[in-house]
């Protein structure tokens, strides 16, 4: 797929993620003790042989730039091509952008200058592991204008933003719906679209010249009867992050060996920025059960069914259950933490009790002291 340009939309998200995306774009959201959401789609692109990837940014992008750097962990730090992080350009500031077509218009020069025949346009909010080679084969065989990667979700009513597809026996999309209250289909787009570069350029210009700003609404939905749009089904694990509850559940899924194997124990690895730290230290009174603990932690208390990021300290007598604790947080003695998400560098002082619910976890913002 060296004739393909990857464009990853890793920018802003809606209000559903609250405190978690206040200091960062959704692509930079930490997951699974050591990764960021953008790592998954970026690794999938590289594992597919895509060697030129552009990531446009909008606001609060410092953490994303810090994580991606030159692209070295993904072998994208190249003299030619490789990874390019694209600051807000073109059609106004990030606050004036009304949709993803505005973002793409801001990097239109980059897209055109790539010279690649195809563009793989993706979001960054899904945890999955695949390559796109077979999707490309199908795209060429069907002569599609757009191929949409989707997966089947029997219950998709809670999704805050999604595109439902209805496909015929040949896989051609015959109908679409966007954010329906009562979905007609369980086939849901993964926000991954394959098309020719010139086709994308044409539709960016066509839509914006008519005051249209959204790729799904103004290209897919409006042109579904005229264009050849085909669906490509992905059948592996796909963890969608669209609100706080889904973010919590995707992390908890990592405790399932089958899910962990589907994501990480494949021939195609999920790559991330490497941070060398000492092994975690466990005190004599430490008890850790069914949890993922990253490097550099100091554990003296009890940890059960939890995801613990790098550099976390849990003091003696503290109990952490069903929780996500991000990097460099401190949980002092006597604390009880359950069904909660702690962002980076949070301090929970002695004997505090913070309890949420699995379907509505408690969230403590970055750098907070409780």
Helices marked H in 49-165? 62-68, 100-106, 108-114, 133-142
Q: How confident is the model at residue 96 (pLDDT cuts 50, 70, 90)?
A: low
According to the model, what pLDDT value does residue 90 have?
A: 47
Contact 220, 176 (CB under 8 A): yes
Predicted confidence (pLDDT) per residue in 121-163, tens digit? 999 999 999 999 999 999 999 999 999 999 998 776 667 678 9
According to the model, what pLDDT value does residue 97 have?
A: 64
d(CA 20, CA 114): 34
Percent of the chain residues past pLDDT 90, beyond the cut = 81
Q: Please give the distance of CA 35 from its chain centroid, rounded to a whole number.
A: 10
- Say whether pLDDT at 323 is over 90: yes
According to the model, what pLDDT value does residue 13 have?
A: 64
Q: Rounded mean pLDDT of 305-320?
A: 97
Q: Is 161 helix (H, G, I), strand (E, B) or coil?
A: coil
- According to CATH, the topology of domain 4-264 is Spore Coat Polysaccharide Biosynthesis Protein SpsA; Chain A (3.90.550)
pTM for this structure? 0.93
Q: Where are the beta strands (DSSP E) in 197-315?
A: 229-233, 239-240, 281-282, 287-289, 292-293, 298-299, 302-304, 307-308, 313-314
Summary mean pLDDT of the chain: 92
Q: Rounded mean pLDDT of 298-313?
A: 97
Enumerate the domain spans of the chain: 4-264, 281-364
- Say whether pLDDT at 87 is over 90: no
According to the model, what pLDDT value does residue 88 have?
A: 72
d(CA 310, CA 178): 39
According to the model, what pLDDT value does residue 157 have?
A: 64
At the top level of CATH, the class of 281-364 is: mainly beta
According to the model, what pLDDT value does residue 117 have?
A: 97
Q: Rounded mean pLDDT of 247-264?
A: 95
């Amino acid at each position: 797929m060296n004739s393909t340009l990857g464009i990853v939309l890793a920018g802003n998200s809606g209000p559903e993620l609250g405190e978690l995306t206040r200091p960062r774009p959704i692509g930079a959201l930490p997951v699974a003790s050591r990764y960021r959401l953008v790592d998954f789609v970026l690794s999938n692109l590289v594992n597919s042989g895509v060697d030129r990837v552009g990531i446009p940014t909008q606001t609060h992008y410092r953490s994303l730039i810090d994580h991606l750097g030159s692209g070295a962990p993904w072998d994208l730090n190249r003299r030619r091509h490789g990874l390019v992080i694209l600051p807000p350009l073109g059609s106004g500031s990030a606050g004036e952008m009304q949709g993803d077509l505005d973002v793409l218009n801001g990097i239109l020069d980059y897209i055109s200058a790539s010279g690649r025949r195809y563009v793989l346009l993706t979001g960054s909010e899904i945890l999955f592991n695949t390559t796109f080679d077979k999707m490309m084969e199908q795209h060429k065989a069907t002569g599609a204008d757009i191929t949409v990667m989707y997966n089947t979700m029997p219950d998709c009513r809670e999704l805050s933003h999604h595109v439902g597809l209805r496909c015929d026996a040949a896989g051609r999309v015959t109908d679409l719906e966007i954010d329906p209250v009562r979905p007609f289909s369980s086939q849901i787009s993964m926000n991954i679209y394959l098309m020719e570069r010139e086709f994308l350029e044409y539709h960016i210009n066509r839509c914006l010249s008519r005051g249209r700003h959204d790729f799904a609404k103004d290209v897919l939905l409006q042109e579904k009867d005229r264009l050849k749009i085909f669906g490509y089904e992905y059948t592996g694990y796909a963890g969608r992050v669209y609100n706080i509850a889904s973010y919590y559940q995707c992390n908890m899924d990592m405790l399932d060996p089958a899910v962990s194997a589907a994501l990480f124990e494949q021939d195609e690895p999920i790559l991330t920025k490497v941070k060398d730290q000492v092994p975690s230290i466990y005190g004599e009174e430490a008890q850790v059960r069914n949890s993922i603990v990253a490097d550099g932690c100091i554990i003296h208390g009890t940890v059960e069914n939890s995801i613990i990021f790098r550099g976390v300290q849990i003091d003696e007598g503290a109990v952490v259950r069903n929780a996500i604790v991000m990097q460099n947080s401190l949980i002092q003695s006597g604390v009880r933490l359950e069904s909660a998400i702690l962002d980076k560098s949070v301090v929970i002082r002695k004997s505090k009790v913070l309890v949420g619910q699995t379907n509505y976890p408690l969230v403590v913002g970055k750098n907070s002291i409780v």
